[in-house]
């Protein structure tokens, strides 16, 4: 579905959001100020219909984040004309505008370091939830009355154009591995944060490789930024918290809502939560879960989950053989569903009851000596691509970890 380049004030999206005025636009999305029942929101509309699956996956995941320094996703959905995402409308100016207005050429170092600590707090939280921002830059940090807020997680920003090249993020702020189309990680955001801090100090982002010296800053600060800007991810700081500490702005807290959930009384619940959280991170998935067989009834019971609607997933029961997980357990073989909705084994009614109908799914059985004890499920790669047979071996390693815990 396509979105008009310009929506006029008064037009209604999703039956409940009235367009007030445009805020920004890019190749993949347009953001408008809109009015809903609860007040004004920032409404993002997808402008590339080929990215609808990714938009839906990202919207579900981001809607579960909750942190004072991260923009709240209020609502998301689609209709015949639009895919849309309603976000909290942050009152304030983005740091690009602040730099343009007050930079001479940069901002005072003490102010920049305070900003760095607040941005690191937001990023440390989202990284703990296995989310990588991918596009940290002054444009996506809003200076509000309560401090800096991280916005625009770039839902559906990644695309392949007709020439086959990938366009992700903003040059000179995005890490080299992102620029050349390699995998992203938390260290990609370490680079983005360092480039942002450099730009706020110098007035412009650093050049790749060997940026010009930073005037008027302590040598230790410049040395820390240069380490964080290393083209090789493994040579950077391992986390944004480590970068912030090196800059003298330690992260105060990364506390917020967790995306993991487990069934009360489950033995080893914390470790099972860690396994599904890590599995989701490795696969860049929107959700992951572990179900165990109740040997009294033969049902599969979901004991641990991470990601979109994790709390709603935990405790769900499947009758023997029901759904993709039931099929994997019955056959003692991995089950791959590139398109869940077209797979007759998919428990569509159960998924609809939870509130999350995935696009693609991989299930591997947990089995000991040829006897099934449960299943591990991976749902929806966040780039919108299908999980495939190449992912099976890695998923089975996580299944082995779960068995070791059990």
Q: How far is CA 34 from the centre of its chain?
A: 24
Q: In this structure, what DSSP letter does residue 70 have?
A: B
For 161, counting Cβ atoms within 10 Å of its Cβ (0-12 exposed, 13-18 middle, 19+ buried), the class is exposed
Q: How far is CA 222 from the centre of its chain?
A: 30
- Dihedral sign, CA of 227, 229, 235, 237? positive
3-state secondary structure of 40: strand
Q: What is the pLDDT of residue 336?
A: 95
What is the tens place of the pLDDT at every residue in 13-68? 988 999 999 988 766 678 899 999 989 999 999 887 777 888 888 788 888 888 99
Tokens of 129: 């939830």
310: phi then psi, degrees, rounded to nearest 5: -60, -45
Rounded Cα–Cα distance for residues 137 and 94 (Å) = 10
Q: What stretches in the chain show pLDDT beneath 50?
A: 2-4, 156-167
Any long-range contacts for 366-372 (C-beta under 8 Å, 24+ apart)? 366/290, 366/292, 366/399, 366/402, 366/403, 366/406, 367/332, 367/403, 368/403, 370/332, 372/293, 372/329, 372/330, 372/332
Q: What is the pLDDT of residue 154?
A: 64
Chain position carrying tokens 């920032």? 42
Rounded Cα–Cα distance for residues 214 and 118 (Å) = 22
Cα within 13 Å of Cα(101), Cβ side: 6
Q: What is the pLDDT of residue 159?
A: 34
Q: Alpha helix (H) ranges present in 156-287?
A: 176-179, 186-202, 219-228, 240-246, 269-283
Whether 298 contacts 246, CB under 8 Å: no
Residues in Cβ contact with 296 at an 8 Å cutoff, skipping those fewer than 6 apart = none
Residues annotated as part of the active site: 135
141: phi then psi, degrees, rounded to nearest 5: -125, 115
Rounded Cα–Cα distance for residues 170 and 231 (Å) = 16
Please give the helix or strand (H or E) that residue 159 lies within, else none.
strand 159-160
Q: In this structure, what DSSP letter does residue 8 have?
A: P
Domains (ranges, CATH) in the chain?
12-88 (3.30.200.20), 93-246 (1.10.510.10), 260-405 (3.30.450.40)
Tokens of 127: 């990284």
Rounded Cα–Cα distance for residues 76 and 85 (Å) = 4
Rounded Cα–Cα distance for residues 277 and 272 (Å) = 9
């Amino acid at each position: 579905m396509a979105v008009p380049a310009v929506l006029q004030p008064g037009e209604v999206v999703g039956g409940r959001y009235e367009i007030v005025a445009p805020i920004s636009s890019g190749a993949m999305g347009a953001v408008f100020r809109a009015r809903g029942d609860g007040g004004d929101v920032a409404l993002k509309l997808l402008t590339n219909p080929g990215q609808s699956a990714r938009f839906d996956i990202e919207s579900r995941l981001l809607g579960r984040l909750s942190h004072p320094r991260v923009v709240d996703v209020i609502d998301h959905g689609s209709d015949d004309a639009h895919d849309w995402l309603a976000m909290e409308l942050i009152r304030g100016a983005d740091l690009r505008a602040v730099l343009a207005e007050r930079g001479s050429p940069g901002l005072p170092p003490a102010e920049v370091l305070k900003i760095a600590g607040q941005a690191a707090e937001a990023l440390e939280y989202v990284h703990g939830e296995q989310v990588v921002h991918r596009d940290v830059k002054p444009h996506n940090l809003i200076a509000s009355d309560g401090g800096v807020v991280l916005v625009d997680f770039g839902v559906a920003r990644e695309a392949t154009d007709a020439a086959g090249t990938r366009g992700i993020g903003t040059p000179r702020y995005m890490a080299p591995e992102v620029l050349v189309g390699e995998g992203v990680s938390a260290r990609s955001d370490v680079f983005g944060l360092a480039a942002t801090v450099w730009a706020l100090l110098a007035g412009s982002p650093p050049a790749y490789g060997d940026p010009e010296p930073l005037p008027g800053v302590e040598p230790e600060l410049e040395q820390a930024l240069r380490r964080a800007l290393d083209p090789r991810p493994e040579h950077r700081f391992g986390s944004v918290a480590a970068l912030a500490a090196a800059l003298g702005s330690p992260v105060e807290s990364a506390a917020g809502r967790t995306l993991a959930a487990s069934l009360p009384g489950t033995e080893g619940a914390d470790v099972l939560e860690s396994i599904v959280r890590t599995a989701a991170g490795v696969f860049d998935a929107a959700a992951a879960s572990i179900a165990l067989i109740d040997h009294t009834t033969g049902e599969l019971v979901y004991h641990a989950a991470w990601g979109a609607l994790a709390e709603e997933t935990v405790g769900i029961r499947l009758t023997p053989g029901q759904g993709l997980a039931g099929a994997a357990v019955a056959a003692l073989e991995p089950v791959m569903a590139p398109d869940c909705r077209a797979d007759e084994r998919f428990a569509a009614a159960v998924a609809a009851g939870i509130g999350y109908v995935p696009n693609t799914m991989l299930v591997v059985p947990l089995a000991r000596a040829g006897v099934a004890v449960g299943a591990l499920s991976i749902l929806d790669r966040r780039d919108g691509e299908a999980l495939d047979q190449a992912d099976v071996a890695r998923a089975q390693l996580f299944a082995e970890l779960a068995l070791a815990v059990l």
